[in-house]
A and B are shown apart, each in its own frame.
Chain A
Amino acid sequence: MAFIQIANQREVRNMNQYFKISTLIVTSLAAVLLFTSFEEVFNPSPWGENEDYLFPRFIAGGIAVLALLLWFERDDKGKPTNFMDLLPGLGLILAYIISMNTIGFYMASMIMFFAVIMIYKKPEETKDFWRVLLIKLSISTVFTLILYCLFTLMLQVRLPGGLFF
């Protein structure tokens, strides 16, 4: 916990920097968009005359102008990101999305549910490890079963299949 707090303090100090980074990202995004929307001019389509990229070009132009104005915006400094607490979650989400296609939606959801409530827990939950584990495992199972009854049995939605379901 102390570790996280140190990280937080550092983030606070970097707030201004964070804002500059976002402005930099928006500006480069504008440049990329502007470039791609004009790509057509360099590689004309075989289908001849067209206005295919007229609208995107207009929007990209608008984004570019606003990105420049953004450098003069001073009233909003932005909020820091607590990466320490966020990263495990982001990793789990990535694993969840990837595994969904192979082990099936319900299996992946159950594991995801269990993993999130096991990893994100309050200090007082760590005392009786096996008991907590068992309770959380059953909550995950019940949650998944409810989803299965609602979506697959009642609404007859087809979800990515895999193991068990």
Chain B
Amino acid sequence: MEFLDYFSNVFTAYHLALLIGGTFAGIILGALPGLSPTMSVALLIPFTFHMKPESGLILLGAMYTATVAGGAISAILVNVPGAPANIATAMDGHRMAKLGKAKQALHYCFISSFVGGIFGVIILIFFTPPLARLSLEFGTTELFWIAILGITIIATIDSKSVVKGLLSGLFGLMLATIGDNPVLGVERFVFTDHLEGGVNIVVGLIGLFAMPQVLNLMEKYYSDKNAVLSSKGDSSLMQSFRFVFGKVKALSIGSFVGSLIGIIPGAGGQIAGLVAYDQTKKVSRNQSNYGKGEPEGIIAAESANNSMVGPSLIPLLTLSIPGSPTAAVLLGGLLIHGIFPGHEIFVSENTAPVVWTFIDSLILAQIFMLIIGLFLSRHSGWIMKVPDNYMAVSILVLAVFGTYSIGNSYSDVIIMVVLGTIMFFASKAGFSAVPVVLGIILGPIAENNFLLGKLIGGARYGDDWMIYFTTGTINVTLIVICISSIAYGLYSNRKSKRSA
């Protein structure tokens, strides 16, 4: 119960102001299309430089928590996910908004984010030592199988045709091979200097989601009636709470999958939302509603996103191994203040007060995130009423800004625009952006870990390097899950075809 001793450190006027300010700014920044959580935390690090360690960390932690949830706002209202984590939210959230239920969608999103977030921090407080060991068990081959598991959901996620889904996914995997590969030490498919840095995940995300949306709004400007959506079935806050807490299955799958993916080094919350969404969909009774505005989809995806935050700090704080890209930036924030991750970080006299204060502030950050988020949902209806021409150009400018600021790179802007324009025309022919992004995220994980595993396996077993991939409890478990995921996908596909 050590964490209780340090709550008083958080309850100072300065720290509370930092927490509220950080949470508020985080939700706003997260909601801007183009600004990902990793970006926001990175932008903030120079500011924390001159603060005391615990103050700096409180601000960064609040930011991390809030941007992950804030990304859902733009996903729901304008169909542009703020981060890869919010892709799954966009699939059902935006369709709910189109049906006039934007407010409910936002309510569900923040409430389930809160539930998942608290669950994640509790995991962080009580189960760090055993989970740190578990996190090390996820090695090269395990990460390879996790990437394969992610790839198995590509075919069926967000597209009617399996062939087109797979094609989009493979296109994403191909995009991911462009540029430098550190494991091979080569540059591939660099036809022009602009491609040297490859296709960054967030650049791809902005291009594939924001640009088609911009072009869509322009194309349909005269033909669409730009109807102001009346909100239907305006439910109260209490009803939203009751609804979300009634969806025990979606909430628990989301929180559990999110936490598990959080502790896996490097896999990142990027896929937590999508994997949880897919799992919840598979066990759901109203599968056919997914992708058409099913609230369960939002609940699963958002609880997974935020439950990932706490556990992603477990390998970071104990082993100096970040569990998500944002955690990797946080590592820099810790080191700058001379807080060195290690097993003794929770007990050492120098670091314990800072770390426990930080963790306690994460609990409060969840609460503030919920309050501020629900408050903002009440007042975000006007975004739906912004005329299409203003909306199109605002998304475009923010997308260009977000893309440029990731690597201060003009090449990224060009990649974003070209990719987005291609995606716009491809979506006309029935291709979806979701599997493409999934491909960009999973491609390097699959390829690099395959190559490393082959090298290590080769050194251990010679020509029988495959043994390295097929032995070990986690490997076998993952292979079984992969196979059953494919089998179940085929089965339900046939079943739905027969019933159609």
- Centre residue among A19, A101, A155 by max chain B CB count within 10 A: A155
A162 in contact (CB, < 8 A)? no
Whether the Cβ atoms of B393 and A100 lie closer than 8 Å is no
Residues of B within 8 A of A8 (CB): 223
Cα distance A1–B223 in the bound complex, in angstroms: 10
A137 CB → nearest B CB, Å: 14
Residues of A contacting B451 with CB < 8 Å? 51
- CB contacts under 8 Å to A, within B354-408, are 388-390, 392-394, 396-397, 400-401, 404-405, 408
Cβ 8 A contact of A85, one of B222, B394, B428:
B222
Contact with B along A29-63 (1 / 0, CB 8 A): 00001001000000001010011110110011011
Chain A residues near B414 (CB-CB < 8 A): 97
Number of chain B residues close to chain A: CB under 8 A: 55
A81, closest chain B residue (CB): B428
Of residues 383 through 441 on chain B, the ones whose CB sits less than 8 Å from some CB of chain A are 388-390, 392-394, 396-397, 400-401, 404-405, 408, 410, 413-414, 417, 421, 425-426, 428-430
Closest to B416 in A: A97
Contacts of A96 in B (CB 8 A): 396, 400
Q: Are A120 and B428 in contact (CB under 8 A)?
A: no
Verify B410–A26 contact, CB threshold 8 A.
Answer: no
B43, B174, B393, B428, most chain A CB atoms within 10 A: B393
Residue of A nearest to B421 (CB): A90
Known interface pairs A52-B184, A59-B170, A100-B413. Does A70 touch B164 (Cβ–Cβ under 8 Å)?
yes
> What string of 1s and 0s marks CB contacts (under 8 Å) between A142-160 and chain B?
0100010001000111111
DSSP majority for the A interface? helix
A70 neighbours in B (Cβ, 8 Å): 163-164, 167
**Which residues of A lie under 8 Å from residue B400 when comparing CB positions?**
96-97, 100, 105, 109
Q: Which residue of B166, B181, B389, B394 is within 8 Å of A120 (Cβ)?
A: B389
Q: Is the CB of A116 within 8 A of B392?
A: yes
Would you list which residues of chain A between 100 and 156 have a CB under 8 Å from chain B? 100-101, 105, 109, 112-113, 116-117, 120-122, 139, 143, 147, 151, 155-156
Contacting residue for B222 out of A1, A19, A90, A139, CB 8 A: A1
A147 neighbours in B (Cβ, 8 Å): 397, 401
- Whole-angstrom CA separation of A160 from B447 in the bound complex: 35
| Complex: A32 Cα to B173 Cα, angstroms | 16
**Which of the residues B167, B171, B188, B408 comes within 8 Å of A158, measured between beta carbons?**
B408
- Do A78 and B401 touch across chains, with their CB atoms under 8 A apart? no
Contact digits for A68-87, partner B, Cβ 8 Å, 1 yes 0 no: 01100101101111100110
Bound complex: CA A23 to CA B431 (Å): 11
Query: Cβ of A56 and Cβ of B188 under 8 Å apart?
Result: yes
Q: Which of B72-80, B213-221, B283-291, B468-476 contacts A (4 or more CB under 8 A)?
A: B213-221
Interface residues in chain B, defined as those with a beta carbon under 8 Å from any beta carbon in chain A: 43, 46, 160-161, 163-164, 166-167, 170-171, 173-174, 177, 181, 184-186, 188-189, 214-215, 218-223, 226, 388-390, 392-394, 396-397, 400-401, 404-405, 408, 410, 413-414, 417, 421, 425-426, 428-430, 446-447, 450-451
Q: A18-B429, A63-B167, A105-B400 are in contact. List 12 more A-B contacts (CB 8 A).
A: A18-B428, A66-B166, A67-B167, A85-B219, A90-B215, A105-B401, A113-B394, A116-B392, A143-B394, A158-B408, A160-B404, A160-B410
7 tightest Cβ-Cβ pairs between the two chains A and B:
A22-B429, A89-B218, A120-B389, A116-B393, A76-B430, A86-B219, A78-B429
Residue contacts A-B, CB under 8 angstroms, 28 given? A19-B429, A22-B428, A26-B167, A50-B184, A52-B181, A55-B177, A55-B450, A56-B177, A56-B189, A62-B166, A66-B170, A69-B163, A75-B160, A80-B428, A85-B220, A86-B215, A89-B218, A89-B219, A89-B392, A90-B215, A100-B400, A100-B410, A116-B393, A117-B389, A120-B392, A155-B43, A156-B46, A159-B401
